[in-house]
């Protein structure tokens, strides 16, 4: 069907996905034109999305200037949980809905966080590399300790943090957490909440699950790393900016930390000569914690559905600024 015969146009600004069957299925079922911009710059994005009623974004920064250059834009869909690349306040001021998919990867990310934590705690990757070099040397990974009796801390007890806590508890860890929305002594999403300083002071493993904003940028810093127990492990499957990376490198260099497991980085892709690549006790992955075949398909379908629902005048499943849809939508979201 030609684009003229269709109700709305949605453009994927840029994306590294290898197929778009889920998005196309939603588009065809709901009479939407879906187009792929493959924009590498703001100028290309604006040029190729000029007629877009909605856009789907993976990495592109959607600023106020970009929005002003897209006169038809009514909805922005972010492939993922975080929306730090989108100026939500500017979108709200312009009546543009911003949607994400906050729960699509809960199980995948929590699986990945636990897997990375255990890989460091048990020296799995160091042992694997040694075997491949023909080496059998226990001293390279000593000391390794049992899981039982150790303390697992979650910084951020939302959906993913709570899932990680549940899985860590099942392995035998004592689990504690900190969350801005709860008070010490409370149980929040199944997690026993402690004060933030107490979390850092007690956690043998610290798993980070907070969004990136001005209040969380660099929240894992030199002072807090220094307060952790000697030999502690830091795991990050949230956003690179929540950890002060130079401070993390310094703590690893000093031998204070027992290791780290980092999926999200300040610069992505991570340069091959990055300081973190020097450490045998650091496990790295390229921001793929979100991935499973199941979560991948769900992410793509729901990102498209959110945007199309806005364009059709409905209430999407996930929206960060429901006020742009009017009073009724805001009231429904609050409930």
Give the model's pLDDT for residue 82: 85
Count of domains for the chain:
2
Domain at 21, CATH number? 3.40.50.720
Please tell me whether residues 122 and 163 are part of one structural domain: yes
Please tell me whether residues 100 and 111 are part of one structural domain: no
Please tell me whether residues 208 and 314 are part of one structural domain: no
Q: Please list the active-site residues.
A: 239, 268, 287
Confidence bin at 5 (pLDDT 50/70/90) = low
Q: Quote the CA–CA distance of 88 and 111 in Å, as a whole number.
A: 30
Q: Phi and psi at residue 76, in whole multiples of 5°?
A: -120, 125
Quick one: tokens of 148? Answer: 């039982």
Give the model's pLDDT for residue 334: 40
Domain interval for residue 55: 3-104+293-334
pLDDT at 3 over 80: no
The pTM assigned to this predicted structure is 0.82
Please tell me whether residues 170 and 152 are part of one structural domain: yes
Q: Quote the CA–CA distance of 16 and 291 in Å, as a whole number.
A: 13
Pair type for strands 191-192 and 205-208: unpaired
The residue to which tokens 């030609």 are assigned: 2
The string of DSSP letters for 233-285 reads EEEE-S-GGGB-HHHHHHHHHTT-EEEEEES--SSSSPPTT-GGGG-TTEEE-
Please tell me whether residues 230 and 328 are part of one structural domain: no
Q: Quote the CA–CA distance of 112 and 21 in Å, as a whole number.
A: 26
Please tell me whether residues 202 and 271 are part of one structural domain: yes
Is 86 in contact with 65 (CB distance < 8 Å)? no
Is 172 in contact with 221 (CB distance < 8 Å)? no
Q: Quote the CA–CA distance of 161 and 159 in Å, as a whole number.
A: 6
Give the model's pLDDT for residue 57: 97
Please tell me whether residues 80 and 176 are part of one structural domain: no
Please tell me whether residues 31 and 123 are part of one structural domain: no
Please tell me whether residues 208 and 269 are part of one structural domain: yes
* Total residues belonging to the chain: 335
How does pLDDT run across 73-98, given as a tens digit for each residue? Answer: 999 999 998 898 999 999 999 999 99
Please tell me whether residues 232 and 142 are part of one structural domain: yes
How does pLDDT run across 98-108, given as a tens digit for each residue? Answer: 999 998 999 99
Please tell me whether residues 214 and 308 are part of one structural domain: no
How does pLDDT run across 215-230, given as a tens digit for each residue? Answer: 999 999 999 999 999 9
Q: Quote the CA–CA distance of 173 and 179 in Å, as a whole number.
A: 19
- Nearest CA to 324 out of 145, 97, 54 is that of 97
Q: Quote the CA–CA distance of 131 and 198 in Å, as a whole number.
A: 39
- Per-residue pLDDT, averaged over 291-300, amounts to 94
Give the model's pLDDT for residue 328: 55
Domain boundary among 248, 265, 284: 284
How does pLDDT run across 229-284, given as a tens digit for each residue? Answer: 999 999 999 999 999 999 999 999 999 999 999 999 999 999 999 999 999 999 99
Please tell me whether residues 120 and 99 are part of one structural domain: no
């Amino acid at each position: 069907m030609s684009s003229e015969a269709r109700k709305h146009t949605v453009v994927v600004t840029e994306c590294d996905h290898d197929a778009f069957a889920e998005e196309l299925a939603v588009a065809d079922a709901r009479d939407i034109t879906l187009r792929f911009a493959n924009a590498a710059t703001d100028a290309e994005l604006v040029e190729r999305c000029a007629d877009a009623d909605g856009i789907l974004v993976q990495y592109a920064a959607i600023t106020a200037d970009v929005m002003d250059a897209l006169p038809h834009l009514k909805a922005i869909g972010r492939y993922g949980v975080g929306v730090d690349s989108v100026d939500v306040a500017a979108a709200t001021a312009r009546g543009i809905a911003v949607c994400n998919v906050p729960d699509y990867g809960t199980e995948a990310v929590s699986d990945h966080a636990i897997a990375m934590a255990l890989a460091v705690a048990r020296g799995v990757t160091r042992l694997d590399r040694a075997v491949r070099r023909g080496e059998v040397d226990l001293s390279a990974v000593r000391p390794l300790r049992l899981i039982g009796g150790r303390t697992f801390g979650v910084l951020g007890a939302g959906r993913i943090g709570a899932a990680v806590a549940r899985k860590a508890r099942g392995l035998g860890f004592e689990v504690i957490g900190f969350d801005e929305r709860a008070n010490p002594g409370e149980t929040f999403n199944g997690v026993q909440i402690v004060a933030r300083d107490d979390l850092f002071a007690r956690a043998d493993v610290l798993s980070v699950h907070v969004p990136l904003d001005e209040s969380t940028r660099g929240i894992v810093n030199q002072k807090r790393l220094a307060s952790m127990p000697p030999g502690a492990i830091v795991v990050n499957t949230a956003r690179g900016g929540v950890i002060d990376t130079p401070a993390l490198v310094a703590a690893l260099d000093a031998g204070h930390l027992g290791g780290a497991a980092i999926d999200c980085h300040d610069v992505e892709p991570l340069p091959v000569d990055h300081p973190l690549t020097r450490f045998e006790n650091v496990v790295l992955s390229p921001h793929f914690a979100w991935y499973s075949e199941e979560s991948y398909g769900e992410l793509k379908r729901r990102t498209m559905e959110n945007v199309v629902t806005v364009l059709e005048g409905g209430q999407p499943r996930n929206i960060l600024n429901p006020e742009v849809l009017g009073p009724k939508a805001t009231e429904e979201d609050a409930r």
